[in-house]
Amino acid sequence: MPNITVELLKGRTIEQRRDFAEAVTASAVDILGARRQDVRLVYSEITADFVANGGVLASEDNSRAEVVAKHGA
- Cα–Cα distance, 20 to 5 (Å, whole number): 12
Domain count, the chain: 1
Would you say residue 69 has pLDDT above 60?
no
CA dihedral 61, 67, 68, 70 (to 10 degrees): 160
* Residue 9: strand, helix, or coil: strand
CA angle 51, 49, 18 (to 5 degrees): 70
The domain of 59 spans 3-71
CATH number at residue 54: 3.30.429.10
Give per-residue pLDDT as tens, 24-59. Answer: 999 999 999 999 999 999 999 999 999 999 999 999
